[in-house]
């Protein structure tokens, strides 16, 4: 407990954003420490068995878990600069002396004194209230993916998916690949929220996507034995007759919210931005927060796709290296920013553009 | 868009930008077939273009553009069928035989059929519309996405977009 570990850059979270930042910063010679609360690196990437969208630069057309391997291999090239602690969580930041406390496993603690900190902590799943939502068999979509794609265990035989965003649509497809039946996908809005092609993929396999529908209750005594669903009108009021659905799993894919408690502890200026799905730090284009030593990237900065998280990680890695006084590839800023902008230019990026308009400032000045 | 509610749940209801058919005459005579892409929404994605060996899927001005196809250049090779993360590319070869067309479609499910197996052919909402025969199975990128070559009665080419393998 007594020794304080010094490091140039502390990266909290070894997922898409954190690993990309580590790869970028390590290439300039920064000494990096990565804390990952899971047992292995890769974050959500390792659960993604589908092929990614985007351009070649973000490995489009490659399956997510393979992308994690590609970034890890890049880090391997500069491995003397990167120290990784898995099964280790950052639990607190002390403003007075800049010390971060980390918990390794569940018993052992140590202290770190980083010069710069990147919060690449990702997101948490949301849950919606309905009677019996605590029955075994009610899962978050992330948990279903972990069970199925990391540990090879199917959650049940017949799933009711709640939410038709990209996660709900993709996880439905992955469940079908594992031989699980999808009873239906429910969506409260009049339109699917995820990419149209992801919906088309499961529609042509016979999965009903019920727009303007919600779950009213889970049925069952000890475990999920079914669900009650009902239609909604355009004011989200229940209409028509409740309907019973036969299923043994209810999977909630109703959105994510950024995980960034340590930024609050550090006193970073935070803002609620609904388009970014929760409270996010105000940041400049180089992802620096109002605290001069804190950066943010990926879902912790606002919920978006993994391809964007990887580029944000690159920009943050670049900016932290520059702030440390290291010689960096200045032109990379422009290259990464253009890639990010192009990903956000479409219909699907409108929400993000709007959210960034509220969360991003041009310059912190001398702050 | 026709029948907007259905379209909003992921079912193509009419031709539009990003979901067009090839010119009829070229299509009817092109050995190997021509690609049909059903990608009507602007999303940031371009592997159909980057995987195309002949430049038939035209270079994207903006990565969010819907794909545009230069049908003169398409050879029906099916590389985009295997690469598209949205599984939105299909090749239809109308020259396969007098009354049958060959459909090349992506397949990532189990069970895996074998050559000459009969499979159920599904429309855009998963209804069985006809029976087809698996003529060939390829895996262009060796990445677990198979391309099934399925012969079907020509009259169903506008409808069939998936198959169900029953073993």
Residues of chain A with C-beta less than 8 angstroms from the C-beta of B62:
342, 345-346
Q: Which long-range contacts (CB under 8 A, 24 or more apart) does B16-19 make?
A: B16/B40, B17/B66, B18/B66, B18/B67, B19/B66
What length does chain B have? Answer: 167
Cα gap A5→A85, rounded to integer Å: 12
Q: List the pLDDT tens digit at each of the 367 positions of chain A.
A: 568 999 999 999 999 999 999 999 999 999 999 999 999 999 999 999 999 998 888 899 999 999 999 999 999 999 999 999 999 999 999 999 999 999 999 889 999 999 999 999 999 999 999 999 999 999 999 999 999 999 999 999 999 999 999 999 999 999 999 999 999 999 999 999 999 999 999 999 999 999 999 999 999 999 999 999 999 999 999 999 999 999 999 999 999 999 999 999 999 999 999 999 999 999 999 999 999 999 999 999 999 999 999 999 999 999 999 999 999 999 999 999 999 999 999 887 899 999 999 999 998 875 5
Nearest one of B29, B132, B35, B141 to B90, comparing CA atoms: B35
Give, as one character, the DSSP assignment of residue B67.
P
Q: Could you give phi then psi for residue B104, rounded to 5 degrees?
A: -110, 115
Q: Could you give phi then psi for residue B151, rounded to 5 degrees?
A: -90, 135
Q: How far is A93 from chain B (nearest CA, A)?
A: 37
B90 shares contact with chain A (CB less than 8 Å): no
Give the residue from A49, A50, A51, A69 with the most B CB atoms within 10 Å of its CB, the best one to mutate.
A51
From the list A53, A54, A205, the residue facing B126 with the nearest CB is A205
From the list A61, A176, A344, the residue facing B47 with the nearest CB is A61
How far does Cα B119 stand from its chain's mean position? 16
For residue B109, the chain A residue with the least C-alpha distance is A177
Instruction: Decide: A159 and A251 in contact? Cβ < 8 Å.
Output: yes
What lies within 8 Å, CB to CB, of A156 at 6+ separation is A137, A180, A224, A247, A248, A249
What residues does each domain of chain A span?
4-124+256-359, 127-252
- Is A242 exposed, middle or buried (CB count within 10 Å of its CB: 0-12, 13-18, 19+)? exposed
* First vs last C-alpha separation in chain B: 38
B67 shares contact with chain A (CB less than 8 Å): no
3-state secondary structure of B76: coil
CB atoms within 10 A of CB A22: 30
Give, as one character, the DSSP assignment of residue B58.
P
Classify domain A127-252 by CATH number: 3.50.50.60
From the list A63, A192, A349, the residue facing B44 with the nearest CB is A349
Instruction: Extract the tokens encoding B27.
Output: 């299509």
Instruction: Decide: B162 and B126 in contact? Cβ < 8 Å.
Output: yes
Touching B: A residues 107-136, CB under 8 Å: none
Instruction: Decide: A308 and A344 in contact? Cβ < 8 Å.
Output: yes
**What ipTM does the predicted assembly reach?**
0.97
What residues does each domain of chain B span?
4-164
Instruction: Extract the tokens encoding A309.
Output: 């998280």
At the fourth CATH level, the homologous superfamily of domain A4-124+256-359 is FAD/NAD(P)-binding domain (3.50.50.60)
């Amino acid at each position: 407990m007594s020794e304080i570990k010094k490091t140039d850059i502390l990266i909290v979270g070894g997922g898409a954003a954190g690993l990309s930042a580590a790869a970028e910063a390590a290439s300039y010679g920064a000494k990096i420490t990565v804390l990952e609360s899971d047992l292995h690196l890769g974050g959500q990437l390792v659960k993604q068995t589908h092929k990614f969208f985007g351009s070649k630069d973000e490995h489009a057309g490659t399956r997510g878990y393979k992308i994690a391997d590609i970034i890890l291999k890049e880090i391997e090239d500069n491995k003397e600069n990167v120290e990784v602690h898995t099964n280790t969580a950052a639990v607190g930041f002390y403003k007075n002396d800049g010390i971060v406390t980390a918990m390794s496993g569940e018993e052992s603690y140590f202290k770190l004194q980083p010069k710069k900190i990147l919060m690449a902590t990702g997101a948490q799943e949301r849950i919606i209230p309905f009677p019996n939502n605590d029955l075994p068999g009610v899962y978050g979509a992330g948990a279903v993916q972990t069970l199925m794609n990391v540990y090879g265990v199917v959650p049940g035989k017949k799933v009711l998916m709640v939410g038709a965003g990209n996660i709900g649509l993709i996880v439905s497809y992955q469940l079908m690949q594992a031989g699980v039946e999808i009873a239906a996908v429910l969506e409260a809005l009049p339109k699917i929220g995820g990419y149209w092609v992801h919906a088309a993929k499961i529609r042509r396999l016979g999965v009903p996507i019920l727009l303007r529908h919600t779950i009213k209750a889970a049925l069952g005594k000890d475990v999920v034995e079914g669900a009650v669903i009902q239609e909604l009108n355009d004011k989200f009021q229940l209409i028509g007759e409740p309907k019973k659905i036969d299923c043994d799993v209810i999977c909630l894919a109703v959105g994510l919210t950024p995980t960034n408690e340590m930024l609050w502890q550090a006193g970073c200026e935070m803002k609620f931005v609904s388009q970014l799905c929760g409270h996010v730090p105000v940041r400049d284009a180089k992802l620096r927060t109002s605290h001069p030593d804190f950066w943010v990237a990926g879902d912790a900065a606002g919920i978006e796709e993994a391809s964007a998280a990887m580029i944000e990680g690159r920009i943050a890695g670049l900016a932290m290296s520059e702030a440390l006084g290291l010689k960096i590839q200045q032109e990379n800023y422009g290259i990464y920013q253009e890639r990010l902008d192009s990903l956000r230019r479409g219909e699907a990026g409108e929400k993000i553009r709007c959210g960034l308009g509220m969360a991003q400032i041009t310059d912190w000045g001398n702050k | 868009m026709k029948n907007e509610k259905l379209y909003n749940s992921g079912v193509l209801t009419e031709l539009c930008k990003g979901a067009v058919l090839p010119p009829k005459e070229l299509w009817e005579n092109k050995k190997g077939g021509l690609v049909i892409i059903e990608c009507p929404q602007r999303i940031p994605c371009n592997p159909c273009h980057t995987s195309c060996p002949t430049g038939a899927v035209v270079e994207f001005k903006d990565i969010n553009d819907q794909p545009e196809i230069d049908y003169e250049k398409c050879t029906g090779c099916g590389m985009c069928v295997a690469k598209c993360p949205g599984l939105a590319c299909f090749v239809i070869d109308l020259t396969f035989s007098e009354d049958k067309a060959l459909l090349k479609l992506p397949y990532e499910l189990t069970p895996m059929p074998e050559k000459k197996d009969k499979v159920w052919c599904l429309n855009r909402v998963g209804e069985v519309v006809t029976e087809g025969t698996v003529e060939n199975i390829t895996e262009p990128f060796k990445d677990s996405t198979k391309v099934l070559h399925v012969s079907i009665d020509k009259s169903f080419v506008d409808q069939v977009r998936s198959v169900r393998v029953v073993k």
